[in-house]
Structure formats: C-alpha cells, structure tokens
Copies of this chain bind each other. A is one copy, B any other.
C-alpha cells in the first residue's frame, strides 16, 4: 500500500450561524465568524488515496485524472462560492471546516474508488493555522 495525495485550492465565503439560535447566541458562540455579511477564506484541500501502483504505469492513479475528478465534483462547486448559500451538498448544515471536509468526502468517495485504490482521507485547511482531517465514516484504519 502507498498513499498518493493531490492538493487543490478554492476560495469561498461562509459564516457560522445557527438558524435555531438568536443573533445574540450566535454572536456569543461564533464571535466574528457569525458576521451576517459573511467573511471568507482561501481553502487548501488535500485528497489522499490508498492503493497499489499499477505495474505498467507506476501510478496508484493518474494524477491528472484524479485532479479532474476533484475539480468536477468539488472545486467547480465550492470555488468562488458562498458555502452557506450556493453549495447543494452543504445545504442545511453548519459551514464548519469539519462539515465541509465530511461533505467533500461524500462527494468524492464513489469517484475515487477502483480495483487498486480507494479514497483514504480529506485534509482541509481553512487557514494556515486551522485544519481538519477526515478518514470516512469508518474512521482511520
């Protein structure tokens, strides 16, 4: 087994705001992140596959194909978007980095599974200092 990672990037607006709470509760819990007029980030996304290299190519997966799938299923939807308003797979969810990473996993899993590899992890940086890593619903193996 070897682990292959591709880094992609998107810029988006979001806010942290729980619609079941008052403005005061949102302000108390989320502070500036609850700004009703939104704020935004440059998100860095690392997608990792676990697999075995193909004997003819030496590749776990062709990185250009992998990049194209990530772009089609994730980046084209999230880049220059408002995560709370524009992204179908985040509808009705808090736009936390944790939830975005889990949503990205769900977008990608079935497209990044083949005989010799499977999706292993999603690592998502909201800023250089804050990031999450998700290994799917069955957890780190």
Which residues from chain A sit less than 8 Å from chain B, CB to CB? 1-9, 11-14, 16, 18, 20-21, 29-33, 35, 37-42, 53, 56-60, 62-64, 79-82, 85-86, 93-99, 101-102, 127-135, 139-140
Q: State A133–B50 Cα separation when bound (angstroms).
A: 9
User: How many copies of this chain does one complex carry?
Assistant: 6
Complex interface: chain B residues within 8 A of A53 (CB): 96, 98-99, 102
Q: How far, in Å, is A41 (CB) from chain B's closest CB?
A: 5
Given contacts A11-B127, A127-B11, contact A3 B134 (CB under 8 A): yes
Q: With A29-B62, A53-B99 known to touch, is A81 a contact of B37 (CB < 8 Å)?
A: yes
Q: Who on chain B is nearest to A105 by CB? A: B2
